A and B are shown apart, each in its own frame.
Chain A
Amino acid sequence: MAALLEVRDIHCSYDHVPVIHGVSLEVNSGEIVAILGANGAGKSTTMRTIAGLMHPTEGSVVFDGKDITKMPASSSIKQGLSYVPEGRRLFAKLTVRENLELGAFTNADKNSVQERLEEMFELFPILKDRAGQTAETMSGGEQQMCAIARGLMSRPKLIMLDELSLGLQPSLVEKVFETVAEIRKRGVTILLVEQMVQEALEIADRGYVLQTGRVVYSGTAKELLDSEEVRKAYMGM
């Protein structure tokens, strides 16, 4: 069976400065896959390229059997590919409910949007209490929940979660990762970018380690957790 997402040897640059030098990766349906690495390794750039916010200079991105290499971000969500960007990027002056409804912007059917809202309120009960509040008035953890829920509103086949743990207190980090596992149970495939290597590998099936724009290690989560190099370089052990 072909992979749900297949990234083939992509090269990307910002203002003609190359930052990704040939990254390939695969995500199969139902998996949680983690992209790991230090700051500036090219993790977010890889995600942004898959999402269509930027386009690779070489290589291709195939999603669900369709070449989406040149597709703009506003179209790739219609293919079932959702991206929760780093830093949450909620619409600060809009309410939680408005943020969530925009997550389902490509779906015009009112009943279906309402149904999805209910689903999200069930998954994240706190958001129900906050529905009428503007996003900027929530705590960091609540905002992260809201961002994930917004990303799920389009009922994606694959959701990409970029640095979920960033700026959250440790107790919340654990909770967010539990939520990720719960989302997979609901049939959504997940691609994670994370600096918290240990925590990410505990819930992931497989992982890719990026270093200065290249994949340096890849394997099952267990292999990576057991690997001497990975432990030394990224977990400080």
Chain B
Amino acid sequence: MSNFMQVLIDGLLSGLLYALVSAGLSMIWGVMDVINFAHGEFLMVAMYICYWLGFILKIDPLFTWVASGIFLFILGAVTYRWIVKGSLGKAAMAPLLATFGLSMLLKNFCMNRFSPNFRLLSGTLLDGKTFEFCGAIISLPQFVTGIFSLIVVAALYWLVKKTRLGWAIQATAMDKEAAELMGIDTEKIFLLVFGLGGACVGVAGGLMTTYLAVHPEVGGLFSLIAFVVVALGGFGSIPGAFAAAILIGLVESFTGFYVAAVLKYVAVFAIYLVVILVRPKGLFGW
């Protein structure tokens, strides 16, 4: 029983993190029909920011996620303004390839500057702390990251669903021209959406440095999972992405424990394949 609890809680916590990592990708796709291929590298940049702030200035990632969140908001907005905007309305692949180029640039820049070494902050406030719950041992940094993810995703959902700005974002997604007729500056909405997408992954990356090592390739697996989550949840749906993220977290952890650790991603991507074949719009898409 305690094994089951342990696996369940581990899965849920991973799922919550995946939800935050995917939320921005989902939103950018939903509003602009653009896949940000540099999403994983945004995550890596956020992790490096908090790693270096922790290593050099000794500020704990428990606080510096604010800085990585803000920096990634700016990076997202700048990416839209200087890279994505010019590629919109051309060939369908143009924004994809442009952001792919950016991802290569960021990855290789970090490889060159920081070497391919894995870097893990030690002696942080939450380092190694655990607590027990229903017979499961829960790692505190992972737990805190999960809770923060839940809060940020809920806040994002609230923003989109319940505020005038959120309606304007949805309106822009549904019919850009009609949104402009309402007096909505859709250019600003795009900038904001890219910024918010960046900020979500910035917060996620910042918090992840409390228990995960950063290296130039760290974005790869996470962005792959984020693509699966977004496609599985239905492109553009935040609740869909959230549910899909939890599902992926659970599948990963249950397969990893009850079947074989090496097979956990096989299970994740197998589910993805089945859903895409049976229901291409995703579990919750419209």
Contacts and interface: CB of A to CB of B under 8 A. Distances in A.
Interface string A92-129: 11100010011101100000000000000000000000
B174 interface: yes
A78 B175 contact: no
Contacts of B186: 74
B182 A103 contact: yes
A103 B174 CA distance: 15
B168, B181, B183, B186 pick with most chain A CB within 10 angstroms:
B181
Given A91-B175, A93-B174, A98 B180 contact: no
A5 interface: no
Contact of B181 (A77, A93, A94): A77
A106 B180 contact: no
Interface string A16-58: 0000000000000000000000000000000000010100000
Contacts of A106: 182-183
Interface in A70-97: 72-75, 77-78, 82-83, 85, 89-94
Given A102-B184, A105-B183, A85 B178 contact: yes
B167 A98 contact: yes
A86 B186 CA distance: 20
A189 interface: no
A53, A73, A75 pick with most chain B CB within 10 angstroms:
A73
A77 B175 contact: no
Contacts of B180: 53, 72-74
A77 B177 contact: no
B106 to A, nearest CB: 33
Nearest to A110: B164
Interface in B73-132: none
A91 B183 contact: no
A78 B184 CA distance: 10
B170 interface: yes
A94 B171 CA distance: 8
A83 B182 CA distance: 9
A102 B175 contact: no
A154 interface: yes
Contacts of A77: 181-183
A25 to B, nearest CB: 20
Given A74-B186, A91-B174, A53 B167 contact: no
A102 B286 CA distance: 23
Contacts of B174: 91-94
Contacts of A72: 180
A92 B174 CA distance: 8
A78, A98, A102 pick with most chain B CB within 10 angstroms:
A102
A225 B179 CA distance: 37
A71 to B, nearest CB: 11
Interface in B145-178: 164, 167-168, 170-171, 174-175, 177-178
Interface string B19-31: 0000000000000
Contacts of A94: 167, 170-171, 174
A91 B179 CA distance: 9
Contacts of B184: 74, 102, 105
B181 A83 contact: yes
Nearest to B185: A74
A94 B164 CA distance: 12
Nearest to A107: B183
Contact of A105 (B168, B170, B286): B168
Interface in A156-187: none
Nearest to A150: B182
19 contacts: A72-B180, A73-B177, A74-B185, A77-B181, A77-B182, A78-B183, A83-B181, A89-B177, A89-B178, A93-B174, A98-B167, A102-B168, A102-B171, A105-B164, A105-B168, A105-B183, A105-B184, A150-B182, A154-B183
Per CB-CB distance, the 10 closest pairs between chain A and chain B, nearest first, are A106-B183, A89-B178, A77-B183, A73-B180, A74-B180, A105-B182, A91-B171, A102-B182, A91-B174, A105-B183
Given A72-B180, A91-B174, 15 more contacts: A53-B180, A53-B181, A73-B181, A74-B184, A74-B186, A75-B183, A77-B183, A78-B183, A82-B181, A83-B181, A89-B181, A90-B178, A93-B170, A102-B171, A102-B184
